[in-house]
Structure 1
Amino acid sequence: MQIDTLNRLSAWFDDYTQSFLSGNAKVDAPLTLKIDHTARVRENIRELAVSLSLDKAKIHLAEAIALFHDVGRFEQYRCYQTFHDSHSVNHAKKGIDVLTQLNVLESLPDIERTIIIDAIRFHNVPALPDNNGSPSMLFMRLIRDADKLDIWKVFAEYFQNDKDRNPVMVQHFVDQPGWDPKMIEAILEKRTARFKNIKNINDYKLFQLSWVFGLHFPVSAVLARKRGHLAAIAGTLPVDDAIKQAVATVMAALERPVCE
């Protein structure tokens, strides 16, 4: 992808997302969060792509994917007032629908359009399809790692802040004692926990910690360790031997990443 094309897509994204804002900072906060998140995911994916010595065209393509990976969130929130896909729509599918209906990718070469759509479609699924020979696979892996790195940042800051709690941020999960043992079990078995087992905010935190076992690039684990957001999330969990063991397993994975 040429830089002029990326700049054009970026300008479209800015115009599109600004059209959802009312001018009331409190009302707009969830959408502003997604705009800011997109900018940081774009920075993350560029850092990962550069670390892999990708050429400029592939770096620009990766940035375009980051730009659009959550574009469906804006219609989702306007229609349903939530970011919980199970209670509304699959935001990845909604994003693809938006890009298709508005002909945003129409002028791109077929291969670039396919890679962008594939990366968006699979950025939020439990596991990637088994087609390692696909030209989309590298970019699917890049967006998943780049996205996780920023989600950890967002929630580390959120869980450490006792003010301005917003149920939209935690997908309306309740803040109550305890946790589902299945979350701990998944971490001890070094696999990503299942979203369907989340019952409360402690489960949600453990779910996010379990993402370390789905990272695709060692450099992603290096960045996660350096930034300290996983440790910050872990620090907000209850003090308990089972939790302590799970957290230790996560932190060890950052030192010796289990990358696909």
Structure 2
Amino acid sequence: MMNDIAKMQELWQEMSSWMTTYMKSFYSPEAAKTAKSHLEIKSAKTIFFDDAQIVDGIILKEKHTWKVVKNCENLAKHLNLNEHDSLLAKMIGLFHDVGRFYQFTVYRTFNDALSENHAKLGLKVIKDLPFMAKLDEEDLATLKFAIGNHNAKEIAPTENQRHLAFAKLIRDADKIDIYRVLKPFLGPTDGTGCSPDFVDLFVAGKQCDYTKMRTQDDRKLVRLMWVYDVYFAWSLKQIVEQNYIEDIINNLVQDEKMMQGITRLRNYIQEKLQTKDIWQG
């Protein structure tokens, strides 16, 4: 086991070094000089952009990547995962959004509906990386399944409980930080309101197809409906303690039907926070 852990630790260092260099390779020369990443560009293929918006988008996703890695690490600790699985969780967090960098530089958007599915793009990016072959076959399959499903409306059906467990872990770790990232964009209502079909789903405590968002308030409602898709009570606690949920609620038009959904949501949160998290991987 010690030999296995040593190999996993070494592989983690190799992966994190590659990812740092890869992310930084999308910076403009000016941004690269002031970047806080711990590696300098040496042999990595570099793509330079003068568009400040591109640089801001890349930096945003770089910060998000490391936040999600930390969330994976903390959630793994909470769930009492062994060191091997904790490192695997961090690897999944590291690469979960690797497709975002190509996506944003080519399409100038993070909207999958207007470009490509960034999870599938990510799997293409890591497909031929030599160090991926250092993972054993099952770990590699788990990593690919988790990354491929991290942004799906629902996890693809599988009888492999390990694949399912790690997919749940990365989806939670990702959501925790997305609430932070989106906070500036979820301010006071612009008066457009929420689409009736979205409100119906919210009242029913169901998920919706986020690619069909039509208004600013739809975007907020989608983030509230996400709560029903958070798997671990620990994860929900992180979201609630940052007041993300109440901040969104306070920026919605609270008519009678909306209040039905809000009441249901608050009751669900209280119940969920009382549950005990169990790792089934």
Range with bigger deviation, 245-254 or 71-80:
245-254
Aligned to 2:129: 102
Aligned to 1:224: 239
Distance 1:65 1:86 in 2: 23
Question: How many Å apart are 1:132 and its aligned residue?
Answer: 4.2
User: Paired residue for 2:115, among 88, 112, 132?
Assistant: 88
Aligned to 2:256: 241
Equivalent residue runs for 1:58-137 within 5 Å = 58-137=85-164
Task: Report the secondary structure of 2:130's partner residue.
Answer: coil
Q: In the alignment, does 2:152 pair up with 1:146?
A: no
Question: How many Å apart are 1:131 and its aligned residue?
Answer: 1.9
Query: Could you tell me whether the CA contact under 8 Å between 2:186 and 2:220 is conserved in 1?
Result: no
Aligned to 1:15: 21
Gaps of 5+ in 1: 163-174
Aligned to 2:41: none
Aligned to 1:255: 270
Question: How many Å apart are 1:176 and its aligned residue?
Answer: 5.7
Cα distance change, pair 131–13 in 1 and its aligned pair in 2 (3 A):
same
CA RMSD in angstroms, aligned pairs only:
2.2
Question: How many Å apart are 1:239 and its aligned residue?
Answer: 4.1
Range with bigger deviation, 196-205 or 250-259:
250-259
Cα distance change, pair 249–202 in 1 and its aligned pair in 2 (3 A):
same
Gaps of 5+ in 2: 32-51
Cα distance change, pair 242–19 in 1 and its aligned pair in 2 (3 A):
same
Task: Report the secondary structure of 1:106's partner residue.
Answer: helix
Query: Could you tell me whether the CA contact under 8 Å between 2:11 and 2:131 is conserved in 1?
Result: no
Give, as a single letter, the amino acid of the residue that structure 2 aligns with 1:124: N
Distance 1:83 1:220 in 2: 24
Aligned to 1:189: 204
Question: How many Å apart are 1:251 and its aligned residue?
Answer: 2.5
Aligned to 1:211: 226
Q: Deviations over 1:163-219 (max 9, x none)?
A: xxxxxxxxxxxx661211111111211111222431011101101110111111122
Cα distance change, pair 101–133 in 1 and its aligned pair in 2 (3 A):
closer
Query: Could you tell me whether the CA contact under 8 Å between 2:103 and 2:116 is conserved in 1?
Result: yes
User: Paired residue for 2:64, among 14, 21, 37?
Assistant: 37
Cα distance change, pair 35–245 in 1 and its aligned pair in 2 (3 A):
same
Distance 1:218 1:143 in 2: 14
Task: Report the secondary structure of 2:127's partner residue.
Answer: helix
Distance 2:71 2:106 in 1: 29
When normalised by structure 2's length, the TM-score is 0.81
Name the % identity.
29
| Structure of greater Rg | 2
Range with bigger deviation, 216-225 or 61-70:
216-225
Aligned to 1:51: 78
Distance 2:159 2:216 in 1: 35
Give, as a single letter, the amino acid of the residue that structure 2 aligns with 1:179: C
Query: Could you tell me whether the CA contact under 8 Å between 1:156 and 1:230 is conserved in 2?
Result: no
